[in-house]
Amino acid sequence: MRQALASVSRILDRLAHTPVAASDRTGASPQTDTIDSLRKAVALLIRRDGVARLVPVGVCALLVLAALVSSMPEVSSASAAVRPSSQPQSVAVAAEDVPEARFGLGDGPLATDASDLYLGDGSIVNTLQNPGVGIDAKTLLRTYTVKAGDTLNLIAGRYDLATSTLYWANKANLPDPASIRIGQELLIPPMDGLLVQVGAKDTLDSLAAKYTVSSQDIVDANNLPDTKLTLGQTLIIPGASGGPMPAAKAGTRAPSSGGWVWPVSGSNYISQYFWSGHHAIDIAASQGTSVVAAVSGTVVRVGWNGYTGGGNVIWVMEGTKLYTTYNHLSWWGVHVGQKISAGQVIGRVGATGEATGPHLHFEVWLGYPWGLGTVANAVNPCIYLAGC
């Protein structure tokens, strides 16, 4: 304890000799008087050996000393002085002074699309932006302007659609499938199917049952946000059909340039056009209806052809590159090597091979049929046939 008091005495002695600030020299400092008093009291305790009796007094003195030291102002060293600088000084901004972000990036009160407006801090996924888009199938349709040389089948092929899909989407302006004209605008559906207008009693389930598709397929095809339908709403029913296309009116199938003629006599119609999954046209007609050569040439194959599903066939070579084939025949009246002329009767409509109902499956090839083992050389017969 004596040693502790001696240490305190030395500290108080140094404090008593610490220079006083200029502002404090005009009068006695209460702080200085207190230090002198403490220093004398400690010295007296050491001389009189009153340490043991005055321990509580010493403890109190230490506490007072600690309070005085902590209250003394801090003196900065000369090296820490702020030096003038020509550079602009950065100013700290309190967090509460920063404007609050009210909108997401690119959003705001002037957003061009109301669905872009989003209040929040961006930390929560915005699951409500851009809900179902195509509530009405009309918003999913494109338009095409008919050009010279176009046929309904050629246009459908460009969009990878069945010709019947294109016809039924435009039937109000196409009384005759062969009546399209240059400059006419056609609606182009986004997929094969049938456009329908929702009636008063129609529901999603009733339409699905009527056209033998699933309700979910209708929802997906039309990007519907829910299952509720609106009276007058247009929907596309994926994969549905309006039925067989009507036959072209009499007189619309004139002979094409180059001597080509329509390959089936009498009343008939195209039941399936050329498309990516069907490299031919199907001409539906009664069993036994006459089949005529569409173009002059030489017969290169006659009879049963099971490996392609054509049943009874006739293949004709025109020149050295172009071939025509007549499939599903019930009868043929020519032989291999025979030269035939356009319009000559060569067989009769049937349903042999892989066929559902009597019709002529008519193909045009730019090369020997199936010579490459694929349908790569098969082309659209409507390129050559008028009124197709």
Across 48-71, average pLDDT: 63
By three-state DSSP, how is residue 300 classified?
strand
Position 123 scores a pLDDT of 39
Q: Any idea where the domains of the chain sit in the sequence?
A: 2-19+28-65, 137-238, 269-383
Q: Give the model's pLDDT for residue 299.
A: 96
- Measure the CA–CA gap between 356 and 334, rounded to whole angstroms: 25
DSSP state of 78: G
Model confidence at 87: pLDDT above 90? no
pLDDT at residue 208 tops 50: yes
Name the CATH architecture for the domain at 269-383. Answer: Distorted Sandwich (2.70)
Element holding 362 (H helix, E strand):
strand 359-366
Q: Report pLDDT for 11.
A: 66
Q: What is the pLDDT of residues 10-36, one digit of tens each?
A: 766 666 565 555 445 455 555 566 667
Give the pLDDT band (50/70/90) at residue 320.
confident
Tell me which of 264 and 153 has the higher pLDDT: 264
Q: What is the pLDDT of residues 164-196, one digit of tens each?
A: 899 899 988 887 776 778 788 999 999 999 999
Q: Which residue has the tokens 């009767």?
A: 345
Q: Which amino acid is at 170?
A: N
The CATH architecture one would assign to domain 137-238 is Roll (3.10)
Topology agreement, domain 137-238 and domain 269-383: no
pLDDT at 336 over 90: yes
pLDDT at 283: 94
The DSSP bridge pattern shows strands 185-188 and 142-145 to be antiparallel
Predicted pLDDT at 245: 73
Entry pTM: 0.41
In eight-state DSSP terms, residue 84 is P
Does the pLDDT at position 238 exceed 80?
Answer: yes
The full length of the chain comes to 388
| 86-100, 138-152, 280-294, 338-352: range with lowest mean pLDDT | 86-100
Instruction: State residue 324's pLDDT score.
Output: 97
pLDDT band at 249 (very low <50, low <70, confident <90, very high): low
pLDDT for res 258: 54
Are 15 and 35 spatial neighbours (Cβ–Cβ below 8 Å)?
Answer: yes
State the pLDDT at residue 282: 93
